Amino acid sequence: MIFKKEIMWGGRLLSIETGRVAHQATGAVVVRYADTTVLCTVVANRELAAESDFFPLTVNYIEKAYSAGKIPGGFVKREGRPSERETLISRLIDRPLRPLFHPNFKNETQVICTVLSFDGQNDSDIISIIGASAALTISGIPFMGPIAASKIGFRDGEFLLNPCEVSDLDLIIAGTKDGVLMVESGASELSEENMIKALKFGHKSFQPIIDMILDLAEECAKDPWEVAEHSDDYSEIAKEMAMHFGKKIENAYKEQCKHDRNGALADVFRSIELHFGENICSDKKILKEIFHDVCSNHVRTTLFATGKRIDGRSSLDIRKISIDVSVLPMVHGSALFTRGETQALAIATLGTAQDEQIVDALGGEYKERFLLHYNFPPFSVGETGRLGSPGRREIGHGRLAWRAINAVLPSRETFPYSIRVVSEVLSCNGSSSMASVCGASLALMDAGVPLKSPVAGIAMGLIVGEDDYIILSDIMGEEDHLGDMDFKVAGTQNGITALQMDIKVTSISFDIMEKAIRQAQKGRIHILNEMAKILTEARSELNENAPKMTTIVIPKDKIREVIGSGGKVIREIIERSKAKIDIDDDGNVTVAASNTASMECAMNMIKGIALDPIYGTIYNARVVKVMDFGAFVNFFGQKEGLVHISEMSDKRVEKVTDVVNDGDEIEVLFLGYDGKGRAKLTMKVNKKI
């Protein structure tokens, strides 16, 4: 039987249907918003493959080229490895779903969202979150949803629901009826007040979707799965562990260095194994789980009791910051940003339009001018590991930093360079993505990129007690691991440029969110002030290693002449000048070279083909042929003209070769054209005209 629900949402029809396709999936729905359609399925194994101490959930978002009426580009005409966009949206779906599964549910589960139709206007990310939530809600799997999501824009003081056009805000928010679970946002220096209003607007906007999913579930939800409760009560073991080893755990957490602290905790656990292995519990995995809970309880209760964190800071304190710029000799810009035990080396590289990233998206091919890549090698956390392609985490952190910086970049018209920043995380103990934001901002200013304002980022944490909560500024790795929230905010002195939030509890209230945003603002301003001690704005000149670049606009009807038949002319210009040249369909020409002489050589050749010399202007010229009556010279790119013997000197000239010879470099004054369209030139450059 087919079940279907429909509502008007944001001025467009949204429908959720189940029962027509994918019958063997545990849960399956087709979500359609206007003409964009996504199939969302969930499958969970009925039995545990093996005992697991984590929830094996996999979320895959897949775009099919046929959905936009396209055939995949490239040599292989079939979809292959996930694109960066597919990876980012997979993370976007995963993050709000994961906290809502029953804590004892450890069955392998896979969610797949496949884009079947894309109308070019309505994006598929939001409806994929909605579809995954609906599929889980009707599947019978122990999922404590449903959730919903919306995309919010901001223009001319008004908030927009699921906008199709670009605005000053790109906010994706997901949550339950009672609170927020996930936020992902980029903004053009949006104020804290407007960001808070946007979050509230977004949460309110998706409430009808939650009601819609619940209505669907009432009609067709499968019987709920039974979840095995833990038969063994480990509370007595936890009490004994805390009683016998509580002091040792407390002393271990007094170690200020992460490496020393982890080593001390490992020593404590070895003692615990010896103590319990002979008596009550010899299962190492269970002991580790109990040990984790005891450590978490110690950190949380100590914080509420004393107001002090693991490293002795208060909830508001920012770790010590040190900054160095221009740390690498041959790169275009570099910065080493260190905050506590987190350290990021950011390197900025400038290029031409030829270096831009070509993206083959469902909506059509486009070029990405700004790239920010984040690398997290295993040595940054003192571990060994396999090196390979960037994982989901690296791609996600890189995109968050990209959003933070992209809002303050100069326009292409004022700064025609393509830009790449690479953040190499050299050491990590919390918030390496925000260290990457700070480092990227400094590296770009060091390279001479005129940012609108410097950008800094800070990660906030949350510890929820029985009757109270504490918001933590600049969290460490342990606080992220043991805490209830990871809330990252980046921006300038004027406002927020990027925001990302993930919740590990079922949801949080807007009171907590508002307080976290206000507290993050104070922390961000503190970090910006520390950065200002090193650089307050971009250097006045580009780094000497950066390519020299200039632009010119030529008439559209001259583009073909500059390129030449089969590209012959432009290849000759590139070969002679050693410069890179880009020409677009509007006649915008960008010339880049390693030195000024090379750039000017190319520009002069292009001007000579596409532009006309200016009357009364003095030009450098080269004698190409000497005649009895004068000399033909090349004076404006490829343009030639005649300097008559009478125009070679104020005095009488008997022979042309008495003044010039083939190959001589001379200065000539352009006097217009004669009746036959030939350029008139004189060597009397001081001649009154």
The separation between the first and the last C-alpha atoms of the chain, rounded to the nearest angstrom, is 91
Is pLDDT above 80 for 303?
yes
pLDDT at residue 65, as a whole number: 94
pLDDT at residue 223, as a whole number: 95
Delineate the domains of the chain, giving CATH numbers in brackets.
Answer: 3-220 (3.30.230.70), 235-306 (1.10.10.400), 321-532 (3.30.230.70), 548-610 (3.30.1370.10), 618-682 (2.40.50.140)
Give strand pairing partners of 302.
none
**Percentages helix, strand, coil for the chain, rounded to the nearest 5?**
35, 30, 35
Tens of pLDDT, residues 148-205: 999 999 999 999 999 988 899 999 999 999 889 999 999 999 999 999 999 999 999 9
Tens of pLDDT, residues 69-99: 999 877 888 988 999 999 999 999 999 999 9
Query: Between 392-406 and 84-97, two packed helices, what is the crossing angle to 10 degrees?
Result: 100
* Contact between 189 and 495 (Cβ < 8 Å): yes
Tens of pLDDT, residues 630-658: 999 888 776 788 899 888 988 888 898 88
How many other C-beta atoms can be found within 10 angstroms of the C-beta atom of residue 11? 8
Q: 57 Cβ partners below 8 Å, 6+ apart?
A: 94, 97, 98, 101, 109, 110, 111
pLDDT at residue 50, as a whole number: 62
Is pLDDT above 70 for 231?
no
Tens of pLDDT, residues 94-112: 999 999 999 889 899 999 9
Tens of pLDDT, residues 507-517: 778 888 899 99
Residue 544 DSSP symbol: T
pLDDT at residue 282, as a whole number: 56
pTM, entire model: 0.86
Query: What are the C-alpha distances in Å from 614 to residues 521, 589, 633, 680, 683?
Result: 55, 20, 16, 12, 16
